[in-house]
Amino acid sequence: MSCQLGLRLAGFGNTKTENAMKTTHHLDPASEVHAERLEADPHYRILRAMPPPFASMPSDNGTPPDGRCLALVDLETTGLDPDVGAIIEIAVKLVWVDEAGQVIGHLPIYSWLEDPGHALEPKIVQITGLRDEDLAGKRIDDEAVARLLDRADLVVAHNARFDLPWIVRRWPQLADKACACSLREIDWSALGFTDGHGLRHLLHAHGWFSRAQHRAAADVWSLFWLLQQERSDPVSQDGDASDHSDHQEPERPVRTHLQRLLQASSAMTVKFLAVGAPYSMRNLLRARGYQWDAGPDRVWWREVAEADAEAEQIWLRRNGIVAPRCLPVSARQRHR
């Protein structure tokens, strides 16, 4: 049986004016006065609790708005290998965005638990807080999950390389579903977040925290909240503030991370496979950003922007890789 988390809350009903960056309706006003005073002092950093999950749709009857539909998804599993492990929890939240990438509606979070048929390892219990008795007799509604994910134009996960293989193994009809990864497709380091890119770490860096345990539904809500945070675009590597006569830094657009993710996921990239690279090149390739595929191909690979493909070919040729494989990659192939 599915579990829906979140209802429309007072102060959160209008998605057109909703701004997660500044929403503090759920916090005590008197405490907020003190928090704002502390924020002004450079010796303090303030973390605010995220609000409880809620849904907000533009129509009273819950009819989905016209726009692009995203499915935010997170899994809890018994291990790291989908070939031998099992999904023990899945959560999905459908979100609609307009052409500018702004949220115009979102449903509650739907989540399911499943009994893997054996005792959980202590490490999984520690991470998730789930116990064997919590899962006993539970079963994921495969048809409901498939309907939700199939409804979406884009599936979003914070670590798609982990989540996607589990999803495709269980729901093979979704194998070519377009997918985006908020962990890898947003350049967090360029935005100034260099200490860590985990979901909770990024939330803390934006001034928020979650009281919930590391569970699928809680992580989906954290991802939804994180993606609505706003930051200025980083300074272009080609830009130089000294070129401006007033010696002031040029104004940079302010966007949500969701807008950045949608832009990145829609762009074509090129996957380079360094076919024939000798073992002695491993450190050079790693320094260049290549990763080792230990699967059947057993090859070093790197994904680059389409505009950088020619430069990558030149670099490989100069280093003795004269016949690399070049594969065009869209959101339907990425993260597989």
> What's the confidence (pLDDT) of residue 11?
35
The helix (run of H) or strand (run of E) holding residue 112 is strand 103-113
Each residue's pLDDT tens digit, 183-221? 999 999 999 999 899 999 999 999 999 988 789 999 999
CATH code of 132's domain: 3.30.420.10
Are 12 and 137 found together in one domain? yes
Q: Which residues pair with 106 in a beta bridge?
A: 56, 95
316 within some domain: yes
29 within some domain: yes
Domain tally for the chain?
A: 2
Average pLDDT for 50-54: 94
pLDDT band of residue 24 (cuts 50, 70, 90) is: confident
Q: Are 93 and 71 in contact (CB under 8 A)?
A: yes
Are 212 and 104 found together in one domain? yes
240 within some domain: no
70 within some domain: yes
Are 145 and 54 found together in one domain? yes
Residue 222 DSSP SS3: helix
- Evaluate if residue 290 carries a pLDDT over 70: yes
Each residue's pLDDT tens digit, 127-175? 899 999 999 999 999 999 999 999 999 999 999 999 999 999 999 999 9
Average pLDDT for 234-258: 68
119 within some domain: yes
Q: Which residues contact 327 (CB under 8 A, 6 or more apart)?
A: 270, 271, 273, 333
256 within some domain: no
Are 134 and 279 found together in one domain? no
Supply the range of the domain harboring residue 305: 268-329
Q: Pick the closest to residue 261 from 203, 328, 333, 178 (CA basis).
A: 178
Are 80 and 156 found together in one domain? yes
260 within some domain: no
Question: Structure pTM?
Answer: 0.86
Supply the mean pLDDT for the chain: 89
Average pLDDT for 30-47: 93
End-to-end CA distance of the chain: 30
Are 32 and 145 found together in one domain? yes
List the Cα angle 254/256/261 in 5-degree steps.
120
Are 31 and 125 found together in one domain? yes
Number of Cβ within a 10 Å radius of residue 142: 13
> What's the confidence (pLDDT) of residue 22?
54
Are 153 and 300 found together in one domain? no
Q: Among the three residues 206, 231, 256, which one is the final residue of a domain in this structure?
A: 231
- Evaluate if residue 227 carries a pLDDT over 80: yes
Are 178 and 321 found together in one domain? no
Are 214 and 310 found together in one domain? no
Backbone φ, ψ for residue 326 (5° rounding): -120, 120
Average pLDDT for 106-117: 97
285 within some domain: yes
- The share of the chain scoring above pLDDT 90, in percent, equals 80
Q: Which of 59-68, 179-188, 242-251, 269-278 has the lowest mean pLDDT?
A: 242-251
Q: Which of 69-78, 213-222, 233-242 has the lowest mean pLDDT?
A: 233-242
Q: Which of 19-28, 71-80, 81-90, 91-100 has the lowest mean pLDDT?
A: 19-28
Are 11 and 103 found together in one domain? yes
CATH code of 322's domain: 3.30.70
Q: Are 174 and 168 in contact (CB under 8 A)?
A: yes
- Evaluate if residue 119 carries a pLDDT over 50: yes
User: Which stretches within the chain are classed as H helix?
Assistant: 29-39, 122-128, 132-135, 142-151, 160-170, 199-205, 216-227, 257-266, 282-288, 309-318
Average pLDDT for 82-97: 97
Are 178 and 302 found together in one domain? no
Q: Among the three residues 211, 231, 251, which one is the final residue of a domain in this structure?
A: 231
